[in-house]
Chain A
Amino acid sequence: MLVLEAIVLSVIAASTPLLLAASGELVVERSGVLNLGVEGMMIVGAACGFAGAYLSGSTVAGALCGILAGAALAAIFGVLTLGLAVNQVATGLALTILGVGLSGLIGRGFVGEKIVLAAHLYVPFLTDLPVVGRILFGEDAFVYVSVALIVAIWLFLYRTRPGLVLRAVGDNHVSAHALGYPVLKIRMMAVLFGGGCAGLAGAFLPLAYTPFFIPGMTAGRGWIALALVVFASWRPGRLVAGAYLFGAVSILQLHAQALGLGIPPQLMSSLPYLATVIVLVLISRTRGTAGSAAPASLGLVFVPDR
């Protein structure tokens, strides 16, 4: 295997959980809700995903468990923020703490166990192509799902009526409500979807990356996914670019270390975060001082008046 091919494969694997989680959060934020609890939903997805796969012997079962776990946690968030008009920032943070604690409790019983990693695709001839074969035709299901998902999200948001409605709700929930759209219901569905994606992203780690569960194994990826959504100006196309860029930075900094380039490892580790800040500043600048490209109702509480 060529070194370049190997590096690309590593980058894809590192970027996939970011892409999955950020895709879900993109939809959520596009509907006007800010769910900061992505890290909590991801880690619960990891714990339940591992538990499901271990107990049933099937990767698919594990993935489903992860999705349901993430969605369940998101449901709590939805009931509080949409049903009871509670502050979204606080609820999201509480969700993270709850998720981290829950995953520890659930995962305790599975420490030291290992499962079989998700299978990789094999298409005779295609997968054996030099350089691109394994990259395009030799990935595991999660990678293909992540790509299909973001394409589907793009189609949904920009080419379907429900997608248009969702964006309208995110941009101006008062007008959307006046037009008769069920704002809260739409947001709730978006929140559940986002939770499922985050759970799937978390489940990817023990199911396809390293076949065991260890408390805290998401290590802040949820926060990076949040940053990614903003980095991408809430646009699916840029989200893919951003996810792979972040994945690449995290892999390349390891390669730079192995090459003995002598740059302090702490500087390398902080690069993705610094990059996010810089990009946030740059993209906001190009929009002028009017502000960011965020959905205008993002984070605002909505209580329909009758």
Chain B
Amino acid sequence: MKHRIVVAAAAVIFAVAAATLGAPAAEKLKVGFIGVGPIGDLGWTYQHEVGRQAMQKALGDKVDSTFVENVPEGADAERAIEQLARTGHNLIFTTSFGFMDATIKVAAKYPKVFFEHATGFKRAANVSTYAARFYEGRYIQGQIAAKMSKTGVIGYIVSFPIPEVISGINSTMLGAQSVNPNMKVKIIWVNSWFDPPKEADAAKALIDQGADILTQHTDSPAATEIAEQRGIHSFGQSSDMIKFGPHAQLTANTDYWGGYYTQRAKDVLDGKWKSEDTWGGLDSGMVVMAPYTNMPDDVKQMAMATEAAIRSGTLHPFKCPIVDQDGKTVECKGGSRLDDGQILSMNFYVKGIDDKVPGK
């Protein structure tokens, strides 16, 4: 009899303890991130991690965030996303284009979870898309390049011929042409988002062929490093690469996701989250130009003026008329400038680029 009382008492105590200890103090929002590369790529995935940390810092105790890196874009992606959903993450950011279908599939199974897919174009009631208008930064870079280059040739290191990259090349050239109509560009595809030795080789090849300003749409600081070695100038990509090119870097086209991530997490906490398509640029702070360095004051003033003009909307990099490399004028669907759909699916080079778009 006494034994049973002891057991019952223990059970009660245990239950009470479990209830009080297990009860959540406040509903913490679990936010998950999936990255295609390692956080250590110093580029694309790294910036998303920076954004996550900013969000974590801004919202403190209210969120608990996890970053899953190195998730390949095939069948494994769906599993990784689903695992985040199953383990209580209510807001999930999938940070690469290749996660698009996986995100949609998992979102269909978890209608109460909110998904945000970067650089994609498929949405659902619980799936938003977001991207940054990198081309805005590139226009400014093109202008700077035209002012700073002595040979009139820009060296461009790129990864894969997707529209975002093509529009970046075009925007750079349009910016450059606005200062010097005869600017030329040489393009090398390294078929990878980051491969530092190959990017370094590409940088050297471009310099050897006469380019004296380097820009890139790949993720490592290799090109900046080579520019520093060879005494020429370069633009950083995704992150500020000034550490690798203290005399070389003019500016960098950095992604800043912290503001967006904090806002979206807040929206979920406040119950205000809606499926949207966000394509923010300089004006919303998703594209941030690294400080203008290693250039004379007048070039700096010009860059800042252009930045202000783009931010306020008075200048658009793709203002019509846009003439493609075959000489045809591209149909202008956005009134005075190409519309977003055209930019998102851009598959042609503008006039003045002598190369051919691969795979056409």
Contact = CB atoms under 8 A, between A and B. Distances in A.
Interface of A: 3, 6-7, 10, 14, 104, 107-108, 111-112, 114, 117, 205, 209-212, 214-217, 219, 250-251, 254-255, 257-260, 262, 264-266, 269
B201 interface: yes
Most buried by B among A214, A250, A265: A214
Interface majority SS (helix, strand, loop, mixed), chain A: helix
Interface size class of B (residues with CB under 8 A): 35 or more
28 contacts: A6-B207, A14-B197, A14-B201, A111-B38, A111-B46, A112-B46, A114-B221, A209-B196, A209-B197, A210-B222, A211-B225, A211-B244, A212-B221, A214-B38, A214-B41, A214-B42, A214-B220, A215-B40, A216-B38, A251-B201, A258-B188, A259-B209, A260-B186, A262-B356, A264-B358, A264-B359, A265-B191, A269-B191
A108 B39 CA distance: 9
B44 interface: no
Contact of B189 (A10, A212, A255, A257): A257
B204 A10 contact: yes
Given A210-B197, A212-B196, A254 B202 contact: yes
A294 B68 CA distance: 45
B194 A210 contact: no
A116 to B, nearest CB: 11
A210 B38 contact: no
A260 B40 contact: no
A303 to B, nearest CB: 40
B205 interface: yes
B254 to A, nearest CB: 14
A111 B219 CA distance: 13
B196 A255 contact: no
Interface string B243-270: 1100000000000000000000000000
A88 to B, nearest CB: 29
B208 A10 contact: yes
Contacts of B155: 258
Identify the 7 closest CB pairs spanning chains A and B, nearest first.
A111-B40, A265-B189, A6-B208, A254-B205, A210-B196, A258-B186, A260-B355
B51 to A, nearest CB: 16
B200 interface: yes
Nearest to B155: A258
A111 B205 contact: no
A6 B210 CA distance: 11
